[in-house]
């Protein structure tokens, strides 16, 4: 039964100013902006078009509503835990308080798939936008140093990756209209030459620069994130505001296209689309990892979690309506669907394409920043509990940040981003996040019945309905992911169990205290 020993609330919540504690510098507005910074990225600039073209048609709006409800249920559960247990560690710490050490370890190990791998995944996407953008300005990064050396063939086989190179410059070939990289399939038609990638240097450098910023301080990182969030939200609002004038309502007919295959149009397509665009919502839970650095966590954490989720859901729905209204959904299955929609508007909106590129670059960078911020705080909490070596719990004497775990996270994330393709990483991130959401919702149910007397500054409404619905919706979205993704999850968890039974269970602080 020692596997399921739990930590008491007095053990979990440390005194402020104690040795090794983190600085409380974040306000409610900082937390909302951190959440928005983590959420708005590849989802709004890429996945909206993909899911509309292949799954739901104009009814992708309903897919966003469904996925948003799944995240809302999970977010309400996160908000109760975050206000009740305002310390670093997010779902890992909540699991330790309710479900026991072994489950907490599984959550903590699982969260690496969300934060560390998400940072690497989005960095790869950022590199593609950045490389093409600077090439459109006449600055050409050698193609061999701008792409992963590997790509995924089929569902699981790693093979050598190839890029389309502009023979005149040696850089990645860029489409003249969309300002994005030309695909290998269209390389010959664009007058390019196919070449193998060696290393994704832009992705690696971006991760390392943000790592340095995170080591220097959470307050400085939050200010940088705030600026980026203002930029990308302004650009998203510009696309929505100017694009409304160019909507052709004929593109919305039929709003729910006829079902032609399982998961393609009809209500099954709406459900499948919700699973695809769920990645667009990943990140709001990262707010909870900063609980120990919030000035008033009991009040501000629920505001940060639910506020950022609400803002992003409204923006996603509005963006989906505008995009599918400007262009027919069948034309949006491209890497740059926003450009396609703008192009359909004609010369009147051509000027907006440049700013969309800026928004995509800024948006993806802020996602990487928040993911890189979340992972070291998971390591910090696990180290403090003895489940990882004490090195991961070191706090810088001047900056007040978990600097060693931040550096380790940054180096590992940069290597993953430099060598591996986005296709291999994305679904791992989704299944890891969904599993964490399921466990958090389950934790609320357990704690309400086992410890009803605990003070709850924020209470999840309509218990048990809300947590049960969170479990069911997130569980369904997990069920819809490919079998190979489940296999990779199993392998990853097996590795985590080896570490726990080889090190964590013997060095746990609870074990040493005789509990």
Q: What would the pLDDT profile of 175-212 be if each residue is shown by its tens digit?
A: 766 666 776 777 877 777 777 667 888 989 999 999 99
Which region, left, alpha or beta, applies to residue 170 given φ > 0 means left and ψ of -120 to 50 means alpha?
left
- Cβ pair 314, 36 in contact under 8 A: no
User: What is the C-alpha to C-alpha distance for residues 45 and 132, in angstroms, rounded to an integer?
Assistant: 15
Burial class (CB in 10 A: 0-12, 13-18, 19+), 4: exposed
As to burial, measured by CB atoms within 10 angstroms (0-12 exposed, 13-18 middle, 19+ buried), residue 468 is middle
Peptide bond into 19 cis (omega under 30): no
How much is the mean pLDDT over the chain?
80
**Res. 134: pLDDT tops 50:** yes
- 127-146: average pLDDT: 79
**Per-residue tokens: 366:** 């802020």
- Give dist(CA 320, CA 277) in Å, integer: 11
Burial letters 104-143, b for 16+ CB under 10 A, else e: bbbbbbbbbbbbbbbbbbbbbbbbbbbbbbbbbeeebbeb
C-alpha 408/C-alpha 211 separation (Å) is: 9
CA-to-CA distance for 15 and 372, rounded, in angstroms? Answer: 26
Q: Taking the domains of the chain in order of start, what are their residue ranges?
A: 27-138+200-512
321-363 residue pLDDT tens: 999 999 998 888 765 678 778 888 888 888 887 888 788 788 7
Per-residue pLDDT tens digits for 40-83: 876 677 678 878 888 888 999 998 888 888 888 988 888 888 78
| Bigger pLDDT: 437 vs 87 | 437
CATH homologous superfamily, domain 27-138+200-512: Amino acid/polyamine transporter I (1.20.1740.10)
- Rg over CA atoms, the chain: 22
Q: Is 220 exposed, middle or buried (0-12, 13-18, 19+ CB in 10 A)?
A: middle
Q: Tokens in use for 27?
A: 């306000």
> pLDDT by residue (tens digit) across 219-237?
777 777 778 888 888 888 9
Nearest to 377 by CA among 88, 86, 91: 88
Does position 267 have pLDDT exceeding 60, yes or no?
yes
Percentage of the chain beyond pLDDT 70 is 86
Q: With H, G, I as helix, E, B as strand and everything else as coil, classify residue 151.
A: strand
């Amino acid at each position: 039964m020692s596997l399921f020993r739990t930590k008491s609330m007095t053990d979990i919540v440390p005194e402020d100013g104690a040795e090794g504690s983190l600085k409380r510098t974040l306000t409610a507005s900082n937390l909302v902006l951190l959440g928005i910074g983590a959420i708005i990225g590849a989802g709004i600039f890429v996945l909206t078009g993909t899911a509309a073209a292949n799954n739901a048609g104009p009814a992708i709006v309903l897919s966003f509503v469904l996925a948003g409800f799944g995240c809302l249920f999970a977010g309400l559960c996160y908000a109760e835990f975050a206000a009740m247990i305002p310390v670093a560690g997010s779902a890992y710490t909540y699991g330790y308080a309710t479900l026991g050490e072994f489950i907490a370890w599984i959550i903590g190990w699982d969260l690496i798939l969300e934060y560390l791998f998400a940072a690497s995944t989005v960095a790869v996407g950022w590199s593609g936008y950045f490389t093409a953008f600077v090439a459109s300005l006449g600055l050409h990064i050698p193609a061999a140093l701008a792409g992963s050396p590997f790509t995924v063939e089929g569902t699981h086989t790693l093979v050598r990756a190839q890029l389309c190179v502009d023979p005149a410059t040696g850089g990645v070939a860029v489409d003249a209209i969309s300002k994005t990289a030309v695909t290998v399939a269209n390389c010959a038609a664009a007058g390019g030459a196919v070449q193998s990638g060696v290393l994704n240097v832009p992705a690696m450098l971006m991760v390392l620069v943000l790592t340095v910023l995170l080591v220097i301080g959470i307050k400085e990182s939050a200010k940088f994130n705030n600026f980026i969030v203002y930029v990308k939200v302004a650009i998203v609002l510009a696309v929505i505001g100017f694009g409304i004038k160019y909507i052709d309502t004929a593109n919305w007919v039929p709003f729910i296209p006829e079902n032609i295959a399982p998961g393609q149009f009809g209500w099954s397509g709406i459900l499948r689309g919700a699973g695809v665009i769920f990645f667009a919502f990943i990140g709001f839970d990262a707010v909870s990892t900063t609980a120990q650095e919030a000035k008033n966590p009991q009040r501000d954490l629920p505001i940060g979690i639910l506020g950022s989720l609400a803002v992003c859901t409204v923006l996603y729905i509005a963006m989906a309506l505008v995009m599918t209204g400007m262009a027919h959904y069948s034309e949006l299955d491209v890497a740059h669907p926003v450009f396609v929609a703008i192009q359909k508007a004609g010369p009147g909106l051509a000027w907006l394409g440049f700013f969309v590129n800026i928004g995509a670059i800024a948006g993806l960078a802020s996602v990487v920043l928040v993911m890189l911020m979340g992972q070291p705080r998971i390591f910090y909490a696990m180290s403090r509990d003895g489940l990882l070596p004490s090195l991961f719990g070191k706090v810088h004497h001047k900056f007040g940040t978990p600097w060693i775990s931040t550096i380790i996270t940054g180096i590992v994330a940069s290597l993953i981003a430099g060598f591996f393709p986005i296709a291999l990483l994305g679904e791992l991130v989704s299944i890891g996040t969904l599993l964490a959401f399921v466990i958090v919702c389950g934790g609320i149910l357990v704690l309400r019945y086992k410890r009803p007397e605990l003070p709850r500054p924020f209470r999840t409404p309509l218990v048990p309905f809300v947590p049960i619905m969170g479990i069911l919706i997130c569980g369904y979205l997990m069920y819809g992911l490919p079998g190979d993704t489940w296999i990779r999850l199993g392998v990853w968890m097996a590795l985590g169990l080896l570490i726990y039974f080889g090190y964590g269970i013997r060095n746990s602080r609870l074990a040493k205290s005789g509990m």
